[in-house]
């Protein structure tokens, strides 16, 4: 059997390993979050209607990201377990299948954008300016979306081998290009026509394509464990099935976020369109807190999955405990920022007096759930790393469909707009309880019984059944 030098995920101390692998991803996620916020700040300078239009388009963008991230998480988890078990040929096959699935995802969303975008915004509003701006923005983002799908797959392939530096560079480069191009295309600088929200969409696509090109370059040159053979490639049902055993639950789990956002927009717009804008602003702002947490979770998935393939129980447990501690601290910082500086955060978006009044209450109430959400994210990521993606899906359904939406709807009827925001806190309390119960169950059945000898590896076909 072919063997390469020991991977750092099998040998380095867990604390430093989690930091060194997680920090680059967290930094790249912070840059991505900065882009999300800056993009909305520029759009808010056009008008509150423009901000509302982009907020209504956001669930479809979330859906694209959900498909891309879900597929890439499945690739990451399966590839890491193959590498942990020293099955390099199978790991290479997983990587090539990931690139194939990225192209399939792009084709589906390009067709969706071309056919259904003209009708989507009419479901929420009859405002002609909002509909026109939303359509122009979303049409561009969907038809040219191959960049985001390919970028996500390449970055997760690199992370699956333990490389988090090059994904940080690609994400950071794409986000910085977006930030630079946004004002040029939105407001028309340096001889470029003023394009408004369509310009924001074009800047987004160019940033994604730049990141895609860079990530392909790094992936093909900086992953010696993998061999990319495209000639004569034929998709294998077994490999795709194993990818989506983890990836599909994650995809559905994140897609539920789109359903939740659309439903919340429906509840909020019954009060005022400004409430929808506030909710959109909240999602942009909370990305500063949650995206770095998801970055650390991505590093944790690679480490846990690798050591599950190597059957190293102690390193699995240490990784999860360290991740919980770090994420809890990050979430406490986020809670403090949202509690003490909500006015400053909203002023970044040129908030009207009505938006300020609604937004300050919303940010303070929703942020109370941050620490609980952080712990639940780590536990959910551990489910994905161990091949139990449906556990994560179950938790997400509980959080966003079973608890959040009914709570928000009832609170909107019983107590009005201000009470709606408490639904987030209620849902996270329930979600954490369920996550802890599922983790205890998974620990007893899958972790506690692992062989402590790292040289005893799990054959590829038995990993999913363990």
What pLDDT is recorded for position 460? 38
- Residue 159 counted as domain residue: yes
- Give the single-character DSSP code of 464: T
Q: Which residues contact 271 (CB under 8 A, 6 or more apart)?
A: 412, 416, 417
The domain containing residue 441 runs over which residues?
Answer: 12-451
What pLDDT is recorded for position 455? 46
What pLDDT is recorded for position 1? 41
Give CA angle at 186 (189, 360), nearest 5°: 130
- Residue 273 counted as domain residue: yes
- Residue 365 counted as domain residue: yes
Q: Distance (Å, rounded) from C-alpha 139 to C-alpha 111? A: 10
Q: Distance (Å, rounded) from C-alpha 54 to C-alpha 349? A: 13
- Residue 1 counted as domain residue: no
What pLDDT is recorded for position 256? 80
Gap between the terminal Cα atoms of the chain: 23
Q: Distance (Å, rounded) from C-alpha 341 to C-alpha 322? A: 29
- Residue 439 counted as domain residue: yes
**Could you tell me if 454 and 308 are in contact, meaning their C-beta atoms sit under 8 angstroms apart?**
no
Residues of the chain where predicted confidence (pLDDT) is lower than 50: 1-4, 452-466
- Residue 458 counted as domain residue: no
Q: What is the pLDDT of residues 183-223, one digit of tens each?
A: 999 998 988 899 988 999 999 999 999 999 999 999 888 88
Q: Which residues contact 171 (CB under 8 A, 6 or more apart)?
A: 28, 29, 31, 32, 151, 155, 211
What pLDDT is recorded for position 6? 60
What pLDDT is recorded for position 46? 86
- Token pair for residue 47? 């008008």
List Cα–Cα distances, 263 to 214, 259, 405, in angstroms. 37, 6, 7
- Residue 243 counted as domain residue: yes
- Residue 3 counted as domain residue: no
Closest CA to 53 of 276, 260, 271, 210: 276
Q: Looking at the 3D structure of the chain, how many domains does it have?
A: 1
Model-level pTM? Answer: 0.68
Q: Distance (Å, rounded) from C-alpha 251 to C-alpha 240? A: 14
């Amino acid at each position: 059997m072919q063997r390469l030098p020991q991977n750092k995920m099998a040998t380095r101390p867990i604390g430093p390993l989690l930091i060194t692998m997680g920090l680059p991803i967290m930094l790249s996620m912070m840059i991505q979050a900065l882009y999300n916020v800056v993009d909305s700040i520029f759009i808010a300078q056009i008008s509150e209607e423009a901000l509302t239009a982009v907020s209504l388009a956001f669930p479809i963008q979330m859906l694209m990201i959900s498909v891309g991230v879900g597929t890439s998480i499945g690739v990451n988890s399966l590839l890491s377990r193959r590498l942990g078990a020293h099955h390099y040929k199978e790991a290479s096959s997983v990587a090539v299948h990931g690139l194939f699935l990225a192209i399939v995802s792009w084709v589906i969303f390009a067709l969706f954008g071309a056919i259904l975008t003209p009708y989507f915004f009419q479901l929420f509003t009859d405002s002609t300016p909002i509909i026109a701006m939303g359509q122009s923005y979303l049409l561009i983002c969907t038809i040219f979306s191959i960049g985001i799908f390919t970028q996500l797959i390449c970055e997760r392939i690199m992370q699956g081998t333990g490389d988090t530096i090059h994904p940080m560079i690609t994400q950071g480069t794409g986000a910085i290009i977006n930030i630079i191009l946004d004002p040029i295309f939105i407001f028309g600088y340096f001889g470029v026509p003023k394009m408004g929200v369509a310009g924001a969409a074009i800047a987004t696509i160019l940033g994604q394509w730049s990141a895609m090109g860079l990530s392909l370059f790094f992936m093909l040159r900086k992953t010696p464990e993998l061999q990319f053979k495209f000639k004569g490639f034929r998709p294998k049902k077994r490999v795709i099935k194993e990818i989506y055993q983890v990836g599909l639950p994650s995809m559905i789990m994140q897609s539920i976020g789109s359903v939740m956002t659309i439903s919340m927009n429906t509840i909020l717009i019954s009060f005022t369109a400004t409430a929808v804008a506030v909710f959109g602003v909240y999602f942009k702002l909370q990305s500063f807190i949650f995206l770095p947490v998801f970055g650390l979770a991505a590093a944790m998935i690679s480490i846990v999955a690798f050591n599950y393939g190597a059957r190293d129980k102690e390193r699995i447990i240490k990784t999860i405990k360290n991740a919980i501690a770090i994420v809890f601290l990050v979430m406490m910082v986020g809670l403090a920022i949202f509690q003490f500086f909500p006015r400053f955060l909203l002023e970044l978006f040129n908030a009207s007096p009505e938006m300020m009044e609604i937004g300050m209450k919303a940010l303070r109430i929703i942020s109370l759930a941050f620490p609980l959400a952080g712990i639940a994210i780590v536990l959910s990521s551990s489910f994905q790393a161990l091949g139990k993606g449906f556990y994560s899906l179950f938790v997400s359904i509980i959080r966003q469909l079973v608890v959040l939406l009914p709570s928000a709807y009832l609170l909107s009827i019983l107590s009005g707009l201000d009470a709606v925001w408490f639904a987030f806190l209620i849902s996270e309390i329930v979600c954490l309880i369920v996550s802890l119960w599922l983790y205890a169950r998974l620990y007893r059945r899958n972790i506690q019984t692992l062989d402590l000898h790292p040289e005893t590896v799990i054959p590829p076909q038995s990993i999913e059944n363990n």
